[in-house]
Chain A
Amino acid sequence: MTPEIGHFALVAALLFSLTQVIAPLWGLYRQQPTLLALTAPAQIAACIAVLVAFISLIWAFITSDFSFDLVVQYSHSQKPLIYKIAGTWGNHEGSLLLWVLILVSFGTLFCLTAHRLDTALFGLILAVQGMISSAFLAFSLLTSNPFRRLETPPIEGLGLNPVLQDIGLALHPPTLYLGYVGLSIAFAFAVAGLIQGRIDQRWARALRPWVTAAWSALTAGITLGSWWAYYELGWGGWWFWDPVENVSLMPWLIAPALLQSVRVVEVRGQFKSWTVLLAIMGFSLSLLGTFIVRSGLLTSVHSFAADPTRGIFILAILLLAVGLPLVLYAWRGPRLVTVGDFSFNSREMALIVNNGILVIATAIVLLGTFYPLGLEMFNGARITVGPPYFDATFNPIMAVGLLGMGIAGTLAWGHGGLPHAKKTLLGALLMGLVCIFVGLGFGISIAALAGLGVLGWLASGIVIDIALRVKPWQKAAGARLMRLGLPIWGMWLAHFGTAVFLAGVLGENLLQTEAIVRAQPAQEVNLGDDTVVFKGIRQTQGPNYQSLSAELQLYDAEGQEIALLYPERRFYPAENQTTTEAAIHTTWLGDYYAVLGDGDPQRGYTLRLYHKPVVAWIWGGAGLMVLGGLVSLVSRHRIPKA
């Protein structure tokens, strides 16, 4: 198969996407059912075309076809197969193609599942999707064509940055894109709803699973990235408040808010205008992230060589894709407002508060991320907004939000809480205070105390809520358990995941011990109560790198062997780069994390050893959140026929 077919398919995909925009709009305007019926086939055809393009690009990478400029730039014949494949999206052009592939796949999935929606809404949603995919396909073809050819192919490629030659690259981008692009469906729903002027319960019911799926994927994607950074970077950090991280955090904060407010539209027919706004915001923030990253505007550790034409192109897409819907919203949004009909202690109110907190938190992240750029444009001054700023502003807001989460399950729709709301509240308050008092004994910082209090409140709130609903001490607890239904389990799982995550964060901050030493082979190093014996150093040959690894034997306080660790330093000759591979021994209670630093046989080697209690809970908690999302996805309701 010649990858040139991929180039042709990419052109065809653009034309199919344009058909997907024109057919429904023209068909609705002229009331032409035949034309309207072309929408779904065009979407499916566009999806097949992008898939062909993507597969042929992967093929070019697998076969090391160096007549493709992109393959020369980012691949090497000696690279292991998995990284040849992952390298396809390890660059701007290929990752853009993956982005579009996921976009059209979502569109196709929508076509195949949403046949119960009324035809006008169906057509409008696909038209909006088509506009986005056309814009990005045009972007790809005009400024970032992955199929650029070379007349005289070189005999070897330049290789891929070794930091990227990792399973993280194979998993993290596709998952994150699933999340980003999943929000495009919600965006299309919102715009179509605004055009049609009708947001109803069926609209919300059709939309909700998409938001759940997108949020789960975003969570998984961000978590994978965080975990990748944790093991690859060599000092065990997992979140850095870097602009590129921040722009991925913002849609992640908006998505749960959207999820809750869609639920209110579905159940109570309220919050319509707010829901539409959130849906537009979620995807807009994803687009903003794409723009920031690919234009290289904000200085980020993740930034890459910026191409001016790219920046302008995405800015133009951004202005149209976000500006127009917001104009539409300013015009038609007020018409969607419903009269508020709920009391102060209703679940609606709790959800509004939670929504508000998530949006406030998003606004703060947005402010902190863009303020330095704005200030520089305003008066040329340069400042840094780093982690301390976000710790001081974002964390308190989120702490308040987490308090709300602990008792969310106890409130009822409309008016008044559930009978056990007061008990739950009191129990949670008590546990929170207990945690703070325990923390006081250890003399930790106020922020950590607050964190502990929130953790106690959140975890006990959920547990008490479950206990009071199931009443395991009475008869027929099993039946009550079964009656609860999957959605509430999904919520509990997600909320409980948050508690686990918080515990991981606190543990990592409060309990970590570290030892940074220069050691000779056979030397013993104390790491807290544990002992690490530096057995020796050895050289090995990997598939496309040379490796220097240390053998470390880990003993606990009783002298029991815990594990053997082999931290490595690798040299990749093709790319002429060095990486470090931390060795991590993960247990439920904590990670042992070892990094081999600089050194030579005479001076000894720098060893950086960490014991990070409960750090894995950070990712475990996020995993529970994803699981919660998936559980409620499985339990989706059918859309009643019109």
Chain B
Amino acid sequence: MTIVRYPIRIMLLVLTYAMVFLPTHVSPVAALSAEEILDDPALEARARAISQQLRCLVCQNQSIDDSDAPLAKDLRSLVREQLQNSKSDTEILDFLQNQYGAYILLEPPISSSTWVLWLAPVMIALFGSGMILASRHLKSAPPDTVLPISTPRTSFRPRIVFLMCFVVLGSALGVHQFIGRPDLPPRPLGRRAEEIKILKDTAQAQQRALRRSFVEARAATRLSPKDPAAWYHLSRTAAALGDSETEINTLKQAIALDPDALALKSLLAEAYSRVADEQITLPARALIDEVLSIDSTEPRALFLRGLAAFQDGDYTGAVQTWMQLFKYSAPDAPWMPMVRENILRAAAAGDFAPPFLPDPAPIAKMTDVEQ
């Protein structure tokens, strides 16, 4: 979404229900705040009147007077400033129409594309009045023949009704087998206490274990601050805890101690992206390029380069990069399933046929059977 929306009116919301765009930092009231109000009541009254004529562009169908969007606030202050510079109402409206087009005016100005809009009500009213006056002089057309659809009496037979219900319910059961999920039991929250407790306990235990190993790893770096492996280890525990800043800092330490470790640089590039909502940023790209210029088969860097191409909308490039990774890696490398999935996804996004991917899994199975 490029535009932050400020839908805050709820009238007849019924019909719509999901105002999912409501941004969290906006309260529906911040509209006109006390500081904006001009001291001169006459000028302020004009400012309010003008504001009610202007559409808040980022909201849907609100005037800037009602809106709490930042742009509406800017426009309000612009209107007040211009008023204080003794601009006339029309001058201000014209100025804004000049910047934003007629869209900003809640009352459409008469122009080549709106004269129909303004003329039509008059025409509708005239036409309607004509019809009203004509209604007294209506001539009747020859009456239509009534369709031969009259049945003397319905005959209600309970047995037939039961049969109908039976057939319908039977077929419904059949259809439900296909589209429903009769296999899934109901899972009301009240009966899931145990399951939720186990889930939470496991998560807590995991978290505790992670935190413990983090503390241990940090102690290790204090003991041997010149050992890149210790820093690397600390960075991994930080990553597992979701502490990306520490991960980045420790990785930088490790790289400083071992400048040739390409895997560390790839990890750093990955960490850079993680703090940027998985986006492969320019600094990350620079690292990836550096790594790949030395070792063009470094798997993590290759994967990230593919991802960068994917994010740029270059799906062919993404598939090519990932195919290289696919070729260079051992068939049982842990990242292989992910690479496969990504190649398929990129091909689908780019709307072309995916390249042939030899499937490692069945081969492994076959050898199992043979053995």
Which A residues form the contact surface with B (CB < 8 A)?
A: 1-4, 7-9, 11-12, 14-16, 19, 27-28, 31, 33-34, 36-38, 41-42, 45, 60, 63-67, 74, 77, 90-92, 95, 118-120, 123-124, 141, 145, 147, 149, 151, 153, 155, 161, 163-164, 168-169, 172-173, 176-177, 195-198, 222, 225-226, 228-229, 232-235, 237-245, 248, 289-290, 293-294, 299-305, 332, 334-340, 342, 344, 349, 352-353, 356-357, 359-360, 363-364, 367-368, 371, 375, 379, 381-389, 392-393, 397, 516-518, 569, 576-580, 595-598, 606-608
A103 to B: closest C-beta gap in Å: 16
Q: List 9 A-B contacts (CB under 8 A).
A: A11-B175, A31-B151, A91-B18, A229-B10, A335-B144, A337-B141, A382-B102, A597-B29, A597-B34
Instruction: Give the nearest-CB partner of A364 in chain B.
Output: B121
- CB-CB < 8 A to A233: which residues of B? 8-11, 28
Closest to A333 in B: B141
Task: Indicate the member of A300, A332, A364 with the most B CB atoms within 10 Å.
Answer: A300
Contacting residues, chain A, for B173 (C-beta < 8 A):
8
Q: Is there contact, CB below 8 Å, between B146 and A161?
A: no
Given contacts A92-B18, A151-B184, A577-B22, contact A232 B53 (CB under 8 A): no
Q: Interface readout for B92-130 with A: 1 if CB under 8 Å, 0 if not?
A: 000000000111111110000110110011001100110
* Residue B90 interfacial (CB < 8 Å): no
A234 and B29 form a contact (CB under 8 A): yes
| Chain B residue contacts of A229, Cβ below 8 A | 9-12
> Closest residue of chain A to B158, judged by CB?
A41
Question: Closest A-chain residue to B31, C-beta based?
Answer: A235
Q: Return B117 CB to nearest CB of chain A, in Å.
A: 5
Once bound together, how far apart are the Cα atoms of A480 and B40, in whole Å?
A: 60
Q: Does B286 contact A (CB under 8 A)?
A: no
Contact of B103 among A232, A384, A597 (CB under 8 A): A384
Does A244 contact B16, Cβ atoms closer than 8 Å? Answer: yes
Contact B165 A33 (CB under 8 A): no
Q: How far is the CB of B119 from chain A (nearest CB, A)?
A: 11
Interface status of B369 (Cβ within 8 A of chain A): no
- Report if B366 contacts A (CB, 8 A): no
Chain A proximity of B194: nearest CB distance (Å): 12
Residues of B within 8 A of A352 (CB): 132, 135
Which residue in chain A gives the minimum CB-CB distance to B199? A155
CA distance A124 to B24 in the complex (A): 52
Q: How far is the CA of A119 from the CA of B150 in the complex (A)?
A: 7
Question: Complex formed: what's the CA distance from A176 to B19 in Å?
Answer: 19
Chain A neighbourhood of B26, CB < 8 A = 578
Q: Is the CB of B189 within 8 A of A65?
A: yes
Among residues of B, the one whose C-beta sits closest to the C-beta of A342 is B136
Count of A-B residue pairs with CB < 8 Å:
367
Could you give, for residues 220-247 of chain B, a 1 whenever the CB lies within 8 Å of some chain A CB and a 0 otherwise? 0000000000000000000000000000
Residues of B at under 8 Å CB distance from A?
Answer: 7-20, 22, 24, 26-35, 37, 52-53, 55, 59-63, 66, 101-108, 113-114, 116-117, 120-121, 124-125, 128-129, 131-132, 135-147, 149-157, 160-161, 164-165, 168-169, 171-173, 175-176, 179-182, 184-190, 192, 196, 199
Of A335, A379, A386, the most chain B CB neighbours within 10 A belong to: A386
Q: Are A34 and B160 in contact (CB under 8 A)?
A: yes
- Extra contacts besides A37-B161, A516-B32 (11): CB < 8 Å: A9-B172, A91-B18, A163-B19, A197-B146, A234-B29, A234-B31, A301-B11, A337-B138, A368-B117, A387-B106, A608-B32
**B140 A120 Cβ-Cβ under 8 A:** no
CA distance A607 to B30 in the complex (A): 10
Residue of A nearest to B144 (CB): A335
Contact B179 A141 (CB under 8 A): yes
Measured in the bound complex, the distance between the Cα atoms of B259 and A125 in whole Å is 83
Interchain CB contact under 8 A, B107 and A388:
yes
- B172–A578 contact, CB under 8 A? no
Q: Are A301 and B15 in contact (CB under 8 A)?
A: no
- Report the minimal beta-carbon distance from B30 to chain A, rounded to whole angstroms: 5
* CB atoms of B180 and A147 under 8 A apart: yes
Are A7 and B12 within 8 A (Cβ)? no
- 4 nearest CB pairs, A to B: A386-B106, A63-B188, A229-B11, A388-B107
Inter-chain CA distance A4–B154, complex, in Å, is 36
Contact B19 A65, beta carbon cutoff 8 Å: no
Asked whether B32 lies within 8 Å of A149 as measured between CB atoms, the reply is no
Given A45-B168, A237-B66, A386-B106, decide whether A65 and B9 contact each other with a Cβ distance below 8 A. no
Quick one: given A4-B186, A240-B11, A516-B37, are A95 and B24 in contact (CB under 8 Å)? no
A334 CB contacts on chain B under 8 angstroms: 141
- A residues near B171, Cβ cutoff 8 Å: 15
- Which A-chain residue is minimally distant from B162 (CB atoms)? A41
B139: chain A residues within 8 A (beta carbon): 337, 339
A383 touches B164 (CB 8 A): no
Nearest B-chain residue to A247, judged by Cβ = B15
Q: Are A576 and B15 in contact (CB under 8 A)?
A: no
Given the known A-B contacts A197-B145, A302-B7, are A595 and B16 also in contact in the complex, defined by CB atoms under 8 Å?
no
- Residue numbers in A under 8 Å from B27 (CB-CB): 569, 578-580, 597-598
User: Contact between B124 and A364 (Cβ–Cβ < 8 Å)?
Assistant: yes
**Roughly how many angstroms separate A222 CA and B114 CA in the complex, as a whole number?**
30
Q: Which of B17, B188, B192 lies at the interface centre, i.e. has the most chain A CB atoms within 10 A of its CB?
A: B17
A167 CB to closest chain B CB, in angstroms?
13
Chain B: which residue is nearest A174 at the CB level?
B14
A339 and B179 within 8 A (CB) = no
For B131, the chain A residues whose CB sits under 8 A away are: 356
Cα separation A598 to B32 with both chains bound (whole Å): 10
Given contacts A8-B180, A33-B154, A595-B29, contact A301 B113 (CB under 8 A): no
* Beta-carbon contact of B113 and A375 below 8 Å: yes
How far is it, in angstroms, between the C-alpha of A293 and the C-alpha of B187 when the chains are bound? 33
| A465 → B minimal CB distance (Å) | 23
Q: Please, how many angstroms separate the alpha-carbon atoms of A372 and B209 in the complex?
A: 61
Chain B residues near A195 (CB-CB < 8 A): 147, 149
Residues on B with beta carbons closer than 8 Å to the beta carbon of A12: 168-169, 172
Minimum distance in angstroms from B93 CB to a CB of chain A: 12
Do residues B192 and A579 form an inter-chain contact, with CB atoms below 8 A? no
Picked from B144, B150, B190, the residue with its CB within 8 Å of the CB of A332 is B144
